[in-house]
Structure 1
Amino acid sequence: MGNEASMYALLKELRDDNPVAYVDHPDFEPFWAITRYEDIKAISQNNAEFINNPRTVLIQREFEQALLSKFGTRNGLETLIHMDDPKHRKLRNVTRNWFKPGSIEGLSTNVETIAEQYVDKMQSMGGECDFVRDIALLYPLRVIMAIIGVAPEEEGMMLKLTQELFGGQDPTQSRGENVDDGLNVLMDFFAYFTAIVEDRKQNPGDDLASVLANALVDGEPMEQLDQISYFIIAATAGHDTTSATVGGGMKALLEHPDQLEKLRGNPSLAKQAAREMIRWTSPVRHMMRTTTKDVVLQGQTIRAGESLCLWYPAANRDERAIDNPDVFDIERDNRQQMAFGFGGHMCLGQHLAILEIERFFQILLPRLSHIEMVSEPEWVQANFVGGLKSMPVRYAFNPK
Structure 2
Amino acid sequence: MVNALPTAPPDAAPTAAPRTKPALAALALGAFAVGTTEVVITGLLPEVAAGFDVSLTTAGMLVSGYALGMVVGAPLLTVLGSRLPRKQLLLALVALFTAASALSALAPTYGTLLAGRVLSALAGGAYVGVASVVAARISAPKRRASAIAAVFMGLSVANVLGVPGGTALGQVLGWRAVFWTVSALGALLWAALALLVPPVPRDEGADLRREAAVFRRGRVWLALAATALGWAPFLTVLTYIAPLLTDVTGYGARAVPLLLAILGVGMLVGTPLAGRLADRALQPTLYGALGGTAAVSLLLLAAVHSKPLTALGFFLFGLVGAAVIPPLQARVTSYAHGAENLASAANISAFNIGNAGGPLLAGAALSSGAGYPSSLWIAAALALAGLGTAVAARGR
Normalised-by-shorter TM-score class: 0.3 to 0.5
More strand by share: 1
TM-score between the two structures when normalised by the length of structure 1: 0.32
More helix by share: 2
TM-score between the two structures when normalised by the length of structure 2: 0.32
